[in-house]
Structure 1
Amino acid sequence: MSWLKDVIGTEKAVIAMCHLRALPGDPGFDAAKGMNWVIDRAYDDLTALQNGGVDAVMFSNEFSMPYLTKVKAETAVAMARIIGQLMTEIRVPYGVNVLWDPVASFDLAMAVDAKFIREIFTGAYASDFGVWNTNVGETIRHQHRIGAGKVKTLFNIVPEAAVYMGERDICSIAKSTVFNNRPDALCVSGLTAGSRTDSATLKLVKDTVPNTVVLANTGVCLENVDEQLAIADGCVTATHFKKDGVFDNFVDGDRVSRFMDRVRSIRQ
């Protein structure tokens, strides 16, 4: 039995993304609408996700594009305000993801009592954001310095919009990541948010590290959830839950309900 049962309440867990709209400091932030509009939209999406029956939610600054690999203070502060105001409404376990800054994610997790974070913890990449480096040793030491040792770590080992600078196959990456870092889960992704995770790649990772939780991280939908959850221990889902399955739209509760009905039948 994996930690998913203890922390989220079920195996084959569905972690739904609650995508926060652009925040102060982001190019897309609408100062005229202000933070209250952002909070109201997050409340609407959270309500639709929870009423649809998801197992957990993860709050991310998804509309902070283009992303930073070291975020500004105003981003994490704004996220803390939003989650703090929503906290009395949250009925399921929740995590956070400050894109793409694992130190800020740990800080936010401690501020809002989040159970898990998802980040790019390891590797060096050529990416849309330029040359992207990480420092997992320092990051994990920061986790323990601030008392976040119980926060579960979801390591994204197929970064979106990026490739490893060295020639490494996915099995080698999975094996060394688990050996060196003891992650709580590995996340396997497509190229961008909403892009389907390749099932063959997902199976290679799970076969390589069978004792580690492996999550399908992007593109899981009603049409492929049977196949994906036959391999993975769970999934992180966002775009499929939105109106018409379009990334920029808000969450459609009916789509969430249909998906979760299917997942419950898979579990049985």
Structure 2
Amino acid sequence: MTWLKDVIGTEKAIIAMCHFNALPGDPNYDADKGMEDVLDWARKDLLALQEGGVDAVMFSNEFSLPYLTDVRTETVASMARIIGELMPDIRVPFGVNVLWDAKKSLDLAVATGAKFVREIFTGVYASDFGLWNTNVGDTVRHQRHIGASNVKLLFNIVPEAAQYVAHREIESIARSTVFNNRPDALCVSGLTAGAETDSAVLKRVKDTVPDTVVLANTGMRLDNVDRQLAIADGAVVGTTFKAEGKFENHVDVKRVKAFMDKVKEFRGVLVP
């Protein structure tokens, strides 16, 4: 049994993304509509995800495009306000992801009581956001310093829109990441949000580190649930829950229910 059962309540867990619209300071923030509009959108999506039966949610500033690797204070403050106001509505375990800043993600987790964070903790990358460096040793020491040792760390080892500066096989990345850092989970992604995670790559990672939780991080859909969950220990799901399967749309509760029914069937649970 993995930690997913203890923290989220089930194996083969589905962590649903609750994407925040552009926030104060972001290029696409709508100052006329203000934070109330961002909050209303987030609340609608959260309620739809929970009504649809997801196992957990992860709040992220998905529309803070283009992303920073050293996130500014106003972003974290805005996210904390939103999660704080949503707290009475949250009925499932939740995590946070401040794109793309591992320390700020941990800061937000401590402030809100999040159970897990997903981030790029290791590696040096050539990315759409420039040369992208990390410092995992400093990050995990920061985790301990702020009292976040109980927060689970989900290591994204195939960052979206980026690749290692020096070519490395995925098996080497998985093996060294686990040996050096003892991550709580490895996340394997496609190229962008909504892009299917390559099942062959997913299997190579899981075969290399069988005792570590491995999550399909992008692109799980109704038509590939069985194939992906046969390999992965769970998944992070965002775009497929949106109306028409489009990244920029609201969550569609009917799509969530249909997907989760398929997941429950896979887990051997009788769905009415």
TM-score with structure 2 setting the length: 0.98
Q: Distance in 2 between matches of 1:123 and 1:64?
A: 23
2:227 is matched with which residue?
227
Q: Displaced runs of 4+ in structure 1, greater than 3 A? A: none
Of all paired residues, the percent bearing the same amino acid is 71
Q: Give 1:164 shift.
A: 0.2
1:22 is matched with which residue?
22
1:41 is matched with which residue?
41
1:259 is matched with which residue?
259
1:124 is matched with which residue?
124
Q: Distance in 2 between matches of 1:2 and 1:174?
A: 18
1:53 is matched with which residue?
53
Q: Distance in 1 between matches of 2:142 and 2:126?
A: 25
SS of aligned partner of 2:22: coil
- What does 1:139-154 correspond to in 2, within 5 Å? 139-154=139-154
What number of residue pairs does the alignment pair up? 268
Q: Distance in 1 between matches of 2:128 and 2:240?
A: 24
Q: Distance in 1 between matches of 2:161 and 2:168?
A: 17
Q: Distance in 2 between matches of 1:94 and 1:118?
A: 11
Structure 1 segments unaligned to the other structure (5+ residues)? none
Q: Distance in 2 between matches of 1:17 and 1:149?
A: 23
What's the CA shift string for 1:158-186, capped at 9, x where partnerless?
00000100121000000000000000000
The answer to whether the aligner puts 1:195 opposite 2:195 as a matched pair is: yes
Letter in 2 for 1:45: D
Q: Distance in 1 between matches of 2:83 and 2:131?
A: 31
Q: Distance in 2 between matches of 1:157 and 1:21?
A: 25
SS of aligned partner of 1:247: coil
What's the CA shift string for 1:90-109, capped at 9, x where partnerless?
00000000000000000000
TM-score with structure 1 setting the length: 1.00
Letter in 2 for 1:195: A
SS of aligned partner of 2:230: helix
Letter in 1 for 2:200: A
1:171 is matched with which residue?
171
Structure 2 segments unaligned to the other structure (5+ residues)? none
Letter in 1 for 2:85: Q
Q: Distance in 1 between matches of 2:267 and 2:46?
A: 24
What's the CA shift string for 1:65-120, capped at 9, x where partnerless?
00000100000000000000000100000000000000000000000000000000
Letter in 2 for 1:235: A
Q: Distance in 1 between matches of 2:167 and 2:91?
A: 43
Q: Give 1:245 shift.
A: 0.2
Q: Distance in 1 between matches of 2:150 and 2:215?
A: 19
